[in-house]
Amino acid sequence: MEQTQTTNDQYAVIGYPVEHSYSPEIHRIFAQQTGENLSYELLPVEPENFEAAVRKFAATGGKGLNVTVPHKEAAFKLSSELGPEAQRAHAANTLSLLSTNEVRGDNTDGIGLLRDLTQNNHLNLNGKRILILGAGGAARGILPPLLDSDFAELVLANRTVEKANELVELFNAAENLFVCPFNQLGEMGSFDLIVNATSAGLKGESFSFPHSCLGSWSFCYDLAYSAKQTPFVQWARDHGAGNAVQGWGMLIEQAAESFAIWRDVRPDTAPLLQKYANH
Ligand code: NAP
């Protein structure tokens, strides 16, 4: 097919490290599907260079950035305008570069997770006991929509318990939201939904959560995703969880939400969900 040379809008995912990211492939597929003319690249940037890199990308025609570890809180601070989810989470994973100095920050992680849980996996959160493992950037992003659901009890557990306490303070502690240190999780009984928002085990280090948290009906959701089995999904399956899935669906749904913010058109996530479901 003949290639036409037209200038296109530039987007990128900024992080450190970022080489492993599937975002360029996902956004290129969305662009093809919707007929949007854009390019999407990887932007590896160390924390101390984050703001300069965002300004430079905007000054050279960049229209938007997805933001990943470790920049989500810096992206929130840099934003001159914020969407409601980023405002609540104090973290942004989507930047719209309105001009060199005007940046809008949104957070699509929570809506991405919620869509994957409730629409793709048909989970009903009403009256459920939910356990979230982790209190880093991803946990911040997923808490707002989970807190808006009609859950019975939500327990937040983190290796560094102070960080879990900070998050509960940030979200204005609902009375059915609790913090639990990792070493007391064994006393908390079982949960209907367990969300792993830690990066535990991903570098090959051993990890184990008490399996009394799991029942045969428990739905275990790992935010991490991999072409191989993730350590958390392996742990959940080994200990009899009813269902255990990786975070491919959240990755795809949060990307679709970012794409819709930037381009004002919502891509169909079904083909990508099907493609990655086999992982
Ligand atoms: P982060 O800000 O670096 O936070 C890491 C979290 O993992 C912290 O709570 C940390 O606890 C905990 N942790 C790290 N190593 C641990 C270990 N050995 N044992 C127990 N806890 C440990 O990272 P993040 O942005 O929140 O990302 C967390 C995970 O979510 C990553 O795997 C990331 O790829 C994934 N994620 C997926 C999506 C998606 O779309 N599917 C979106 C965002 C993130 P401390 O506070 O004690 O250090």
pLDDT digits (tens, 9 = 90+) for 179-216: 999 999 999 999 999 999 999 887 877 777 899 999 99
Return the percentage of the chain with pLDDT > 90, whole number. Answer: 86
Report how far residue 41's alpha carbon sits from residue 95's, in angstroms, rounded to the nearest whole number: 15
Ligand 1 neighbour 10 (Cβ under 6 A): no
pTM of the model: 0.95
Give the ligand 1 atom nearest the CA of 251: 40
Ligand 1 neighbour 198 (Cβ under 6 A): yes
> What pLDDT digit, counting tens, does each position of 41-61 carry?
999 999 999 999 999 999 999
Residue 65 makes CB contacts below 8 A (sequence gap 6+) with 11, 12, 13, 14, 43, 54, 57, 75, 94, 95, 97
Beta bridge mates, 95 = 65, 105
Give the pLDDT band of residue 279 (cuts 50, 70, 90). low
Q: Which CATH number, 1.10.10.10, 3.40.50.10420, 3.40.50.10860, 2.40.50.140, labels domain 9-107?
A: 3.40.50.10860
Fold identical between 9-107 and 110-249? yes
Superfamily of domain 110-249: NAD(P)-binding Rossmann-like Domain (3.40.50.720)
Instruction: Tell how far the Cα of 5 is from the centroid of ligand 1, in angstroms.
Output: 41
**Interior/surface letters 139-171, b for 16+ CB within 10 angstroms, e for the rest:** bbbbbbbbbebebebbbbbbbebebbebbbeeb
Query: What's the order of all strands across the beta sheet hosting 243-245?
Result: 177-181, 153-158, 129-133, 193-196, 219-222, 243-245
Cite the active site residues.
72
Ligand 1 neighbour 249 (Cβ under 6 A): no
Helix axes 248-263, 23-34, angle to 10 degrees: 50
Atom 15 (ligand 1) nearest CA: 200
Which whole number is the average pLDDT over 256-269? Answer: 98
Ligand 1 neighbour 197 (Cβ under 6 A): yes
Helix axes 270-277, 23-34, angle to 10 degrees: 140
Give the ligand 1 atom nearest the CA of 198: 7
Report how far residue 138's alpha carbon sits from residue 202's, in angstroms, rounded to the nearest whole number: 15
Question: 229 burial class (0-12, 13-18, 19+ CB within 10 angstroms)?
Answer: middle
Domain ranges of the chain: 9-107, 110-249
Ligand 1 neighbour 103 (Cβ under 6 A): no
Give the ligand 1 atom nearest the CA of 253: 40
**Longest alpha-carbon distance in the chain:** 65
Which whole number is the average pLDDT over 100-125? Answer: 96
According to DSSP H, which parts of 82-180 are helical? 84-89, 109-115, 137-148, 161-170
Instruction: Tell how far the Cα of 200 is from the centroid of ligand 1, in angstroms.
Output: 7
